[in-house]
Amino acid sequence: MNEPTKISAGTSVSWSFSHVLADGSWQFCYALRGPGAINIDADGVNGQVTVSESAAVTTDWKAGSYEWRLYARQGEERQLLSIGQLEIEPDFMTLEAGHDPRTHARKMLDAINKVLEGRILSDHERYAVDGRSLDRIPILELHKLRRIYTQKVRREVKGNSFGVRRVLTRLPG
């Protein structure tokens, strides 16, 4: 089966796969549960299950992470065929100005860098005023977090590099 892992609300979506129960006597249905409850009926004939939803239908889907389950029904019988997860992205065309396209990793890295820059000017990790105290994350810990999130951001960027990679080799001689 080749269900999508990401769907954009407000766009058409379709996929298909082979299944032995797709003989015309079984009905197929995906049940998505998460921020919303979405049921998607699928056609199953000639060994192929076909799913298709129009942009007009998906425009109302709430963005977020969903668990899905694929069921086959025939009369009173219902079989669970598969379970998975997918993400529904918001309709990009309806996003307002001010949309922040950064990933979680990029936001965290930017926040850590901002804290480190501020800490250079004020290097106190702990202080007390009027009986109240404030403890800050030690600079060494911030540097460790920075390395972790730098690696995450690099992995994200590499994932979007369209497969371009460097290959190093040593030639004889």
pTM tops 0.75, yes or no: no
Whether 85 and 140 map to the same domain: the answer is no
Q: Of the candidates 69, 92, 115, which is a domain's last residue?
A: 92
Query: 169 in a domain, yes or no?
Result: no
* Terminal Cα distance for the chain, rounded: 50
Whether 134 and 77 map to the same domain: the answer is no
Ordered strands of the 27-33 beta sheet: 6-8, 77-89, 64-74, 27-33, 37-45, 48-53, 13-18
Per-position DSSP letters for 119-135, written without gaps between them = HHH---SEEEETTEEEE
Query: 35 in a domain, yes or no?
Result: yes
Query: 165 in a domain, yes or no?
Result: no
Give residue 117's domain range: 104-159
Residues 6+ positions from 151 with CB-CB distance below 8 Å: none
Whether 84 and 108 map to the same domain: the answer is no
Q: Encode pLDDT of 137-153 as tens digits.
A: 777 888 899 999 999 99
Please state the domain count of the chain: 2
Taking every pair of C-alpha atoms in the chain, what is the biggest distance, in angstroms? 78
Q: Of the candidates 48, 72, 92, which is a domain's last residue?
A: 92
Q: Encode pLDDT of 34-79 as tens digits.
A: 999 999 999 999 999 999 999 999 999 999 999 999 999 999 999 9
